[in-house]
Each structure stands twice: as structure tokens, then as C-alpha cells.
Amino acid sequence: MFDYEILRILWWAVLGVLLIGFAVMDGFDMGSLALLPFVAKTDNERRIVINTIGPVWEGNQVWLLLGAGAIFAAWPYLYAVAFSGFYFAMLIVLLTLILRPVGMKFRSKMPGIGWRAFWDWCLFAGGSVPPVIFGVAFGNALEGVPFSFDSSLRMTYSGSFFALLNPFALLCGILSLGMILLQGATWLAVKTEASVQRRARQTIVALAMGVPLLFAVGGIWSGGFIDGYHYASTINPEGPSNPLYKTVTRASGALMDNFSNYPIAWLVPALVILGAALALIGVARRRPIVSFIGSSLVIAGTVATAGVALFPFLLPSSTVPNASLTVWDASSSRTTLILMTLVTAVFLPIILVYTSWVYHVLRGPVTAQHVKDRGDSLY
């Protein structure tokens, strides 16, 4: 159970689960705010939308903290490269995420139309910008990032913020925004009524058809026009965590190797199609919870597809392929991974149980009457 190889694969999977958890749980927060100016036309409707996420958005941030903490503790090389190389992009994410609590608190302090409209657009930015940047980061990870290590494992990043904004990465950013908007629309279909719910259902139909199309375009592009990475030396799953102890080559179509070698892997991208179909079925049968489950499957399939395509690579290096970070040479020590596994086995179920209880207590839609009756205590 505690073999180094098994622990490394386990924490690769745990990282994927945490990223999916963040995209699903915080995704409907961001998606709802990104849709705020479009599905809610009046001030009261916008208050309804904001109050659907008001009691839960802070708790959903736990998934972001868990994901970042897992990268820091389990994959220190990945943490060093990603948070240094993507520093300016991460700064933009943090600044826009700050707009969410500030906007939600400040918009209700004054009744003026201009005042509230300003903060509504700030909330829109806080919901739409982070998923685009996260998608751009994933796109660059698939292509490879310009970094290297010297003999003492000091990292050098030779890229720039604007170099991250290449065509394929921007496509991934648009795809990321699309799936988050779909998640937000399905959440609003569950938690609202009347005109807001009707506009949310219309949005679901458009996005449930558009997101799989973008996903397919990204798959064709990455499989046929982007060089992937190959291990050119013998893999040692129990070896030391030193990225320089291997040889890596680049090859066209390498991102499709895991799908070619293991046909069962095609079940992962199939989740995107299945999820989109469920989202449409939920709209047709007026079962919004079915749409929400389908949207969550779209997110899970999209994120997991990127992970499966890259495996065993975590973050390839486009300038010095031998310095690429992989599951086998970028992890923490075996002892650290054992301790993290034991701690996670205790606390992750507690988080899941508590989160489930919170959503059970807060079940049911937010209505116009609900906001009117509690105008002084709600956003």
C-alpha cells in the first residue's frame, strides 16, 4: 500500500480529484456571477442570483486551498515552477477573486443604479476571468512550458505572460469559461424560479451544445498539431525525485498515446458527451438537478482528459524536455506522501460529510419573495 510508486500514482489521482472538486464546486459560483448581467435583468433578479451562492461560496474556496496545498506538499517541483512561471497570471486570478467578496458586500451598501451596476460588472469579472486563466494554464501545460533546472535544481523560467496567450491556450481558456458558464447556468436552474430560471435553461441549451464542440476541436488540435512528450529512458517509478535523471523527447501526436495504448481511457472524454446530453435532458424534462449532474460530468471529463493525455507528465518543459516534471520524479519523499495520505483519509471524509449537510440544510430555490422578506439580511 505504501510503495513509492503507488503513493505517487495515488497523489496524482488525488490532485486530479481536488482540481475537479474545485471546478465543480467553485465553478457554479464563478459561473453564476459570470452570467449575472445576462440572466438577471432587474436589481431584484440580480439579488436572487447573488443569494443563490451567498451562503456557500466561501466554503467552496476550501477546494482551491486543498488543491494548492496538495501541489505544495505532494509536488513541490510543480508548485515551484507553476507558481513562479505563472506568477502574473496567478496574480490576476487572485485580484479578480477578491472582487467577489468585495462586490457582494459593497453593492448593497447604496441603492443607486450606477453604484450597483459597477459592482455587478466587478462580480462578472470575478466570475469570468479566473476560469479563462485556469484554462490558459492547462493549455500551456499540454504544450509545454519554458523552464529548466541547473545542476543544483535551481529553476529558471524563460517565458512571459503574453507568451502564455497563444492560440491553443486561448482555445482552452474559452473552453474552460464555457464549461464554468454551463455549471453556473445549471446551478441557477436548480436554485431559482420564473424568469431567471427560464433564461438559465436557455443558456444551458446553448452551452451544452457548444462546450462539447469546443472540446472536440481542442482534442483534434492537441492530438494532431501539438507535439507531446515521450520518456526516452527507462522509467523508475521508485526512483529519486530529481527531474534531471531521465531523457525525454518530443513527438507529434504523443498526447494521444495513452488513449491508443489503453482504449479504456476513452471513457474519460466520453464523460463530456454524456454530461452534455444529461444537461439537455434535464432541460427538456424540467429536471434541473439532472442538468447540474450532467454539467459536473462535463467538468470532470474535461479536466480528467487533460490529466490522462499528459500522464506520466505533470508539466513538460518546452525548452529542455529532460527537465520535464513527471509523476515519477517530481513528488515529495515517500514519508511525506504517507503522512499526507493518512491525514487525507481522516479529514477529507469529514469535509465531504459537512459539505453535504450544508447543502441539505440550504436546499430549495431562492425566490423573489424570499429576498423581499429578508431584504436587510441578504445580499
Number of CB atoms found within 10 A of residue 65's CB: 11
Instruction: Report how far apart, in Å, the C-alpha atoms of 185 and of each of 21, 30, 297 are.
Output: 18, 10, 14
| pLDDT > 90? residue 146 | yes
Q: Average pLDDT for residues 214-239, to the nearest whole number?
A: 89
Burial of 239 (0-12, 13-18, 19+ CB in 10 A): middle
> For residue 184, which of 170, 164, 167, 204 has the smallest C-alpha distance?
204
Q: Could you give the CA distance from residue 86 to residue 90 in angstroms, rounded to a whole number?
A: 6
d(CA 95, CA 97): 5
Q: What is the end-to-end Cα distance of the chain in Å, rounded? A: 49
Q: What is the pLDDT of residues 236-274, one digit of tens each?
A: 888 889 999 999 999 888 999 999 999 999 999 999 999
Which residues lie across from 157 on neighbouring strands?
147
Torsion over CA: 195, 61, 310, 138 (sign): positive
Q: Which residues share a beta bridge with 317?
A: 145
DSSP SS3 for 229: strand
pLDDT at 368: 84
**Closest to 11 in 3D by CA, of 345, 375, 327, 333:** 327
Q: Choose among 211, 250, 212: nearest CA to 232.
A: 250
CA–CA distance, 38 with 45 (Å, rounded to integer): 11
The closest of 111, 180, 173, 169 to 145, measured between CA atoms, is 169
Q: Which stretch, 100-114, 149-163, 240-254, 296-310, has highest mean pLDDT?
A: 296-310
For 23-71, write each residue's pLDDT tens digit. 999 999 999 999 999 999 998 999 999 999 988 888 888 898 889 999 9
With both helix axes pointing from N to C terminus, report the angle between 267-284 and 194-225 in degrees, rounded to the nearest 10.
160
pLDDT digits (tens, 9 = 90+) for 196-218: 999 999 999 999 999 999 999 99
| Residues facing 231 on adjacent strands | 248
Give 377's pLDDT tier (boundaries 50, 70, 90): low
Q: Are 240 and 326 in contact (CB under 8 A)?
A: no
Q: pTM here?
A: 0.93
d(CA 127, CA 34): 5
Look up residue 303 and give its DSSP letter: H
